[in-house]
Amino acid sequence: MSEEVRFLPFKEAVKLVAAIQEEENIHHQDRRILTVYNHDDREICWFDFEELEEAVGDVPKDQKKEMIQDYILKHIPDWALDI
């Protein structure tokens, strides 16, 4: 039985997240990930870029970065507070 992932409230996630950095996926060189870091430069979690684009959907190019960032901040797992 899998445990349901719970996410932090948006305002709490904004306080926790210091940076979202685009990187190469070390397991798949042709894929990109976005790694999320806290204020101690510790990795919190990561997101597959292609999956994010699919989740965000078709948005104007000038809004894509903001929409992806917003999606990430709404999907920071609550266990990230323990890192």
- 31-74 pLDDT tens trace: 899 999 999 999 999 999 999 999 999 999 999 999 999 999 99
> Which residue(s) pair with 46 in the sheet?
35
pLDDT of residue 1: 52
Tokens of 54: 């699919």
N residues, the chain: 83
For residue 40, the tally of other CB atoms under 10 A from its CB is 8
In the chain, where the domains are located = 11-82
Tokens of 10: 């948006």
pLDDT of residue 26: 77
Q: In angstroms, what CA-CA distances link 79 with 7, 31, 71, 76?
A: 8, 26, 17, 8
pLDDT of residue 28: 75
